[in-house]
Amino acid sequence: MNYPKVSVILLNWNSYEDTIECLESLKKITYPNYNVVIVDNASSGDDVKVLRKKYGAYIHIIANDQNFGFPGGCNIGMRYALSEGAENLLLLNNDTVVDPDFLTELVKVAESEPLIGIVGSKIYYYSHPESIESAGGRIRWWLGHIEVYGKVKDVGQWDEVAERDFVYGTSFLIKKKLIDRISFMDTYFFFGVEEYDYCTKAKRAGFKVVYVPQSKVWHKKGASSSKLPQFPEIQDKVKNKQGWRQYKYFYQFFRRYCPPVLFIVPFVLHVTLVGSFLFFLSHADFKTIRKGGARRLISLFCWTGKPRFPY
């Protein structure tokens, strides 16, 4: 197996404790040819100072003077990594813990075929280590329904390497040649929807997006969003950019990839949840509904609160 240089890019924002736990797990990985780039998105505390003191030359820190959002911060890290000769770029959420072989497994699949542009890990919930948050997913365009494979206990149902419409940006390896073709992530999506957009853009350019279940990552879902109330200026910025239920983002998303004018159909179906309702009905039967499908249907309309588990 070849070991092309991989730059692991972490975005930090007022969460050096999470970043430290992530870095400690990264130090145990088996992949031999990687470096770590941390982009601090204008933390208000001593995050940069603490991380530099603790990790020294193991990391390279870029300290932003303002919060550029998730894609903007990642783009800054990716530009630096490419200037230093990286062949693959791994976007990794700083509120994660990784399996020792996670990067080796990603690179193995990424290098197996020239048309593969993005590979993603199997993402578990940190608080429920045997439950899958995401195994990638599928976009059902005319229903406006974005189906995430996950939110259930792992019983081997998604244990095969497979193409996907998208994989989560939680652990997201991008090959350099894909960036050469389609450029960086769109900073319009300040916080959310960016992986749907970038994966779709890659697929429309002829590349494959592939899910790699042997690459395992545990994610503290909501770690960044839970801090937003402590920073009203950033919280207001996020809300203004997203709109209600991220309607501004999804308007742009469906407009970009669906036919002119007709894109309104999947957009409306998505933001009203009608598309999800129709998808559920088309895949349900009376036995499923009697066993709790109705409760699941109701949960579609509860777009606030903590993740729900079916057991």
Is pLDDT at 301 greater than 70 in this prediction? no
pTM score, whole prediction:
0.88
8 A C-beta contact, residue 209 and residue 115: no
Is pLDDT at 123 greater than 70 in this prediction? yes
Last residue of a domain, one of 162, 196, 230: 230
Q: Which residues contact 272 (CB under 8 A, 6 or more apart)?
A: none
**Predicted confidence (pLDDT) per residue in 45-73, tens digit:** 999 999 999 999 999 999 999 999 999 99
Domain co-membership, 104 together with 192: yes
Last residue of a domain, one of 196, 230, 264: 230
What is the domain count for the chain?
2
Is pLDDT at 293 greater than 90 in this prediction? no
Mean pLDDT to the nearest integer, 220-224: 77
**264, part of any domain:** no
Q: Which residues contact 246 (CB under 8 A, 6 or more apart)?
A: 192, 193
Last residue of a domain, one of 230, 264, 299: 230
Is pLDDT at 127 greater than 50 in this prediction? yes
Q: Which residues contact 210 (CB under 8 A, 6 or more apart)?
A: 109, 110, 116, 118, 119, 120, 161, 162, 163, 164, 167
- 113, two tokens: 């075929």
Grade residue 306 by pLDDT with cuts at 50, 70 and 90. Answer: very low
Is pLDDT at 174 greater than 80 in this prediction? yes
Lowest mean pLDDT among 164-168, 214-218, 265-269, 278-282: 278-282
Domain co-membership, 177 together with 296: no
Mean pLDDT to the nearest integer, 169-180: 97
Domain extent, residue 278, equals 273-311
**291, part of any domain:** yes
